[in-house]
A and B are shown apart, each in its own frame.
Chain A
Amino acid sequence: MLPPNHNLSPIIYPKYYAVVGNPNSGKTTLFNALTGLRQKVGNYPGVTVEKKLGQFIGQHGEKIELLDLPGSYSLSAHAPDERITRDVLLGLRSDTPRPDRILCVMDASHLERNLYFITQVLELGLPTIIALNMVDLAEAQGTIINVAKLSEELGVSIIPCQANRKETLLPLKLALSRAHVARSSWTPQLPSSWMRAIDGVTAVWAEEETQRDPLVRMKSAILLATPEVETALLATEMRAGTALGVALAQRAMLDRELPGWREEFVSARYERIGELCQAAQARSNLTSDMVTQHLDDVLTHPLWGWITFLGVMGLMFVSIFIVAAYPMSWIEMGFGLLGDLVRGILPPGDLRDLLADGVVAGVGGVVIFLPQILILFFFIGLLEDTGYMARAAFLMDRVMSKVGLHGKSFIPLLSSYACAIPGIMATRTIENNKDRLVTILVAPLMSCSARLPVYAMMIAALFPAGSVWIKGTIMMGLYLLGTVAALGFAWLFKKTILRGETPVFLMELPPYHCPAVRQIVIQMVQRASMFLKNAGTVILGLAILLWFLASFPKISTSSAPIDKSVQLEQSYAGRFGHFIEPVIAPLGFDWKIGIGLVAAQAAREVFVSTMSIVYHVESDEENPTSLRDTLRKEIRPNGTLVYTPLTCLSLLVFFVLSMQCVSTLAVVRRETNSWYWPIFQFCYMTGTAYFVAFLVYQGGHLLGFS
């Protein structure tokens, strides 16, 4: 992170720390507390893991950079984000320079397990500072840590703090600003057969003079201990391809000579940590986290647990679905007024239309998602920060595992009933990469609120006089169809393209905490700004493109008022509607519906307004029945009705299943960091929609329906 040219400040070098620690150790809270909103969030190239860089001003006025690495339980990484942590610390990633220093975050109330990872990090031999977090919690539970003793044993500074209380962070900031930070005196103590194996591996790939370097030896040790399937990959990354054969041979040798070596590799470390804890930790009158236990007795109770769960989820869903509707209508109104204003100021012409109907409407189409995103991430922040998220996953895991998913896929899928965009953004809480990808791929099948106007219109056309019960039943059937399709495809993807070893489901249930509002707000702002920056620009571009397609070429009538319906028919979109008519005819759709489908790519609800333009219906909002009645009278050239019950049903099924939302595709691109997955998603969903609508229409005909 050093700027290439730092001649101007020859004395003060920015200090660059990697922040590491166990999940739930308060690492991200600490990172946020130190850096606030001075953060840059991006992705590591090639993977979906988030890269967070932040900075703060040290005590001598110098910049201190922090890199928040994904939470890890071990350097022998098992998950993609743990692999990032390992690779950055070992200096194996070309896109991220190896940090000069390390800030370890250690949860004082779970010292033992935290030290497993932290001692591994200390053995890398880099200048390290340990932030001893949650000391208040540990003390409340009766654990007093002798910081001086622990610091002496580990040979690095240990600074007690409470990441959720900013005023406790000054000593830590001072420590981070120091010119000199000690390297740990903690050295690995391994059985001699292990040492020989490490020597053997190191000798093959490392230079003679670096073979005693702790980092080099650590790399060899990790290569030896890494899971079988990943050894080759790691060896390549280490540019130690030659060591691969040796590592495998050494491993086989260890398997023969020392059958329990894998166990011993870990247990030897835990034993030393046990001794260390006994020396540096005084425990009196231990209450453990009784509050958490009592809360869990209720919150995971077969009855009360479900009631709370349904209550929390219901509240969240209602907020996204109903509460967000108010600011969304204000935004809509605001941009509507802005559009009118533009129309009022500028003289008629293409520029005016571009600004009013393309740009302003496009920006409005992006901003409209913000209320839902903010509300959802408020809830997610709250659930994660309190620790309830893990319990929700604990409750739902059984259900989700039926289709091969993880309990954590539930919230993203539930949110997708409101809108797939926040839902897909919420998949970040799923650690397993494949589970996350599957959840992203199926999330848009859950019927989102943008489909609602289309459902309502088509159901009204289908049963103009039908009772509320019939309409309600059909509506529910549509939601059910989407849900079943989502779960079915999740199951299918887990069986086929995203197969792989069943990921081990091991999830820590962290103690409950009071949520830190600041923490939640930072996350909300971050998500919102990432959405605006990354997906928003793509959405805006596509919205303008779709506007262009629906408005050009212009019909050349200079005097007569332009007939919007004729104009739309003449446009590229209209021509495209004609063009695809042969393709959609087997589904019972004519070219006018084709135009609607093209326009609906911008957002599904646009279908309704487009159809009113196509059929010359004035303002469907004020007079909702007029469009319905027009639809019911619409006839084909051969004199038969267009909107037969079968066509309506086929159209409804098509809307349930097809991918008609460029905004979602833009977010999927952002979240998966590739164009491959959004394209795949578009193809499989629209393909399925076509196929099922075809079955409905043609099958219905065969059965004698019309």
Chain B
Amino acid sequence: MRLPLSQLQLGECGIVRQLPEKQVLASRLREMGLLKGTEVTLMRRAPMGDPLEIRLRGYSLSLRNVDAAEVLVDVVRGNSNSKSVHLRISSGYASP
């Protein structure tokens, strides 16, 4: 299932498939390690719903909903409690 990063459930994991059209945003995200094929987990939302905290490559990054909405991810299936799983395997590589 492909959906915007901002619409992941808490603790849900996704593989990045498409980066934003906006060049500045896309290149910034890439350099922070968010590339096509990178595995990201939605860790939490700020109390007022924005921004988000995602985890990738073993670190936590916060970004706003508007920006996260432009990143499309494939939800990783069969990972019911991936928040904790992701913490344990916390490497940035996409699992095959």
- A-to-B contact residues, CB < 8 Å: 73-74, 76, 78, 109-110, 112-113, 116, 225, 227-229, 262-263, 266-267, 270, 274, 283, 286-288, 290, 292-293, 296-297, 300-302, 305-306, 390, 394-395, 397-399, 401, 501, 504-510
Please give, as numbers and ranges, the residues of chain A lying within 8 Å of B49 by CB-CB distance.
Answer: 398
Please give, as numbers and ranges, the residues of chain B lying within 8 Å of A305 by CB-CB distance.
Answer: 47
Q: Would you give 25 A-B contacts (Cβ < 8 Å), ordered by A?
A: A110-B57, A110-B58, A113-B59, A227-B24, A262-B23, A262-B26, A266-B27, A266-B31, A267-B36, A286-B90, A287-B87, A288-B87, A288-B88, A288-B90, A296-B44, A300-B53, A395-B48, A398-B50, A504-B25, A505-B51, A505-B67, A506-B29, A506-B32, A507-B62, A507-B63
CA distance A74 to B29 in the complex (A): 11
Please give, as numbers and ranges, the residues of chain A lying within 8 Å of B2 by CB-CB distance.
Answer: none
Please give, as numbers and ranges, the residues of chain B lying within 8 Å of A401 by CB-CB distance.
Answer: 50, 64
B33 and A270 contact, CB distance less than 8 A: yes
A507 and B46 contact, CB distance less than 8 A: no
CA distance A531 to B5 in the complex (A): 45
New A-B contacts (4) at CB < 8 Å, excluding given A112-B58, A113-B58, A263-B35? A74-B31, A401-B50, A508-B61, A509-B60
Please give, as numbers and ranges, the residues of chain A lying within 8 Å of B26 by CB-CB distance.
Answer: 262
CA distance A568 to B83 in the complex (A): 72
Please give, as numbers and ranges, the residues of chain A lying within 8 Å of B51 by CB-CB distance.
Answer: 394, 397-398, 505, 507
Interface status of B19 (Cβ within 8 A of chain A): yes
Q: A398-B46, A401-B64, A509-B61 are in contact. Are A113 and B32 (CB under 8 A)?
A: yes
- B-to-A contact residues, CB < 8 Å: 19, 23-33, 35-37, 43-44, 46-51, 53, 57-64, 67, 87-93
- The prevalent SS among residues of A at the interface is helix
- B95 CB to nearest A CB, Å: 14
CA distance A110 to B93 in the complex (A): 14
CA distance A287 to B57 in the complex (A): 14
Please give, as numbers and ranges, the residues of chain B lying within 8 Å of A390 by CB-CB distance.
Answer: 62
Please give, as numbers and ranges, the residues of chain B lying within 8 Å of A397 by CB-CB distance.
Answer: 46, 50-51, 62, 64
A286 and B89 contact, CB distance less than 8 A: yes
A267 and B35 contact, CB distance less than 8 A: yes
- A142 CB to nearest B CB, Å: 10
CA distance A290 to B84 in the complex (A): 9
A506 and B63 contact, CB distance less than 8 A: yes
B67 and A508 contact, CB distance less than 8 A: no
CA distance A398 to B64 in the complex (A): 9
B19 and A263 contact, CB distance less than 8 A: yes
CA distance A274 to B91 in the complex (A): 10
B23 and A394 contact, CB distance less than 8 A: no
**Smallest Cβ-Cβ distance to A274: which chain B residue:** B93
Please give, as numbers and ranges, the residues of chain A lying within 8 Å of B92 by CB-CB distance.
Answer: 112, 274
Return the contact of B87 from the options A78, A225, A262, A290 (Cβ within 8 A): A290
CA distance A300 to B24 in the complex (A): 29
B64 and A505 contact, CB distance less than 8 A: yes
Return the contact of B24 from the options A395, A398, A501 (Cβ within 8 A): A501
Listed residue (A228, A292, A507) with the most chain B CB atoms within 10 angstroms of its CB = A507
CA distance A229 to B57 in the complex (A): 29
Please give, as numbers and ranges, the residues of chain A lying within 8 Å of B37 by CB-CB distance.
Answer: 267
B53 and A394 contact, CB distance less than 8 A: yes
B47 and A301 contact, CB distance less than 8 A: yes
B44 and A267 contact, CB distance less than 8 A: no
Please give, as numbers and ranges, the residues of chain B lying within 8 Å of A509 by CB-CB distance.
Answer: 53, 60-62
- B25 CB to nearest A CB, Å: 5
Q: Can you list the 7 inter-chain pairs with the closest CB atoms, starting with the nearest?
A: A398-B48, A509-B60, A266-B30, A302-B47, A74-B31, A288-B90, A288-B87
